Amino acid sequence: MNDIAAGTRGIRVANLVILAATTCVWLGLDQLTKQWAISALSDGPNHIVGPFSFRLVYNSGSAFGINALSGIWLGLLAFAVVVILFFYSRNLPSRTMTILLGLVTGGALGNLADRLFRAGDGFLSGRVVDFIDLSRWPVFNLADTGIVVGTIGAAIIGSRVFANDTDEIADADKDTTDKDATDKDTTGTADMVGTAKAEAGDVKTSQP
């Protein structure tokens, strides 16, 4: 029992370490690339190839420039997401999902840092730095990428885990049903044998 508890604690600690490490790495990359964008793209966009270019944009809305919520609500939402994911990470079913959620938390903190520390008119009113331009898609950054990729990847893995758990439950129910049926057949057969023996004994007793 102690070994099982120790193993469970070890998994939880490992998940937290992986989540924290992934979060810090992605947050660092996000902030470094944003600082590069501010320095390198202030004079104008930099076309790379085809529809892909770097263009500096300051965004006061949510991911990909969508103005659905005010900065303060977006900041508070990002903070809540990070807290929930760190709490949930203790029981994640795989290391891959832990890394994916680390991308989400790193991205959320990256944009939250912009709202906190980049010039604004009040608390959490700073503007997020976006610089990746695909022409027909709103300009975004590495934080947005981590949020989207991590969320989609975690959803795919989570659906597979749920499907596997459902199959295991169905198999367990089938095994239980089969066992009950076997036990019932065995009991019925034993009763029939007992009845036959009893009848045979009664016949012998009634003979002169």
Q: What is the pLDDT of residue 203?
A: 45
Q: What is the pLDDT of residue 159?
A: 86
Q: What is the pLDDT of residue 83?
A: 82
Report how far residue 18's alpha carbon sits from residue 106's, in angstroms, rounded to the nearest whole number. Answer: 12
Q: What is the pLDDT of residue 182?
A: 60
Q: What is the pLDDT of residue 68?
A: 47
User: Contacts for 81-84 with beta carbons within 8 Å, 24 or more apart?
Assistant: 81/105, 81/108, 82/23, 82/108, 82/109, 82/112
Is residue 33 within 8 A of residue 39, CB to CB? The reply is no
**pTM beyond cutoff 0.75:** no
Nearest to 72 by CA among 112, 45, 108: 112
pLDDT in tens, the chain (208 residues): 565 556 567 778 888 899 999 999 999 999 999 999 999 999 999 999 999 999 999 987 655 555 545 556 666 777 788 888 777 766 776 889 899 999 999 999 999 899 888 766 666 668 899 999 998 888 999 999 999 999 999 889 888 876 665 655 655 555 565 555 565 555 555 555 555 555 555 544 545 5
Structural domain spans, the chain = 2-156
Catalytically annotated residues: 130, 144
Q: What is the pLDDT of residue 134?
A: 93
Q: What is the pLDDT of residue 77?
A: 76
